[in-house]
Amino acid sequence: MSRGTIATILKRAEIEPAPERTRRTTWLAFLRRHREVLAAADFFSVEVWTAGGLTRFAVLFVIDLATRQVDIAGIHREPDSAWVVQCGRQLTDPDDGWLRGRRFLLHDRDPRFAEAFADTLAAAGVETVRLPPRSPNLKDYVSYCTSLG
């Protein structure tokens, strides 16, 4: 088939060519369209005075993009991927898991969000979406929350 034939078929079906379709969906439009089923997760650190002195803890939190409700999923001094997987189990608990009713969880490329974490959430029907590298503008909701403190 020639290029012109394909263009004619697409035009009759009222389908824009692929480059035109991709230009129409911006990140903001995607978020607005899916925000009822979207959540995001990230880490921030906090320093706490303990009996052993000043100690840094990592806080894993999630945010509902529709309501901007935030939940602390866990706090740990030395979080690793196994601990994050356990947090994932708690977040997807069928009775009172915070991610009930959500289909997607956005997160950055932190190595603590390992494949086992994605598998744990997928087993509960939540798909993880890793954001592209060097794209801080895609994490605006999360960045806003961590700047409030």
pLDDT tens by residue, the chain, 149 residues: 677 777 777 777 667 666 655 556 677 777 788 889 999 999 999 999 999 999 999 999 999 988 989 999 999 999 999 999 999 999 999 999 999 999 999 999 999 999 999 999 999 999 999 988 877 666 665 555 555 54
Residue 64 phi/psi, 5-degree rounding, is -80, 120
pLDDT, residue 17, reads 66
Domains of the chain in start order, with CATH, are 26-146 (3.30.420.10)
Residue 19 phi/psi, 5-degree rounding, is -60, -35
78-83 long-range contacts (CB < 8 A, ≥24 apart) are: 79/43, 79/112, 80/112, 81/111, 81/112, 81/113, 81/114, 81/116, 81/117, 82/116, 83/112
pLDDT, residue 20, reads 56
pLDDT, residue 41, reads 95
pLDDT, residue 123, reads 96
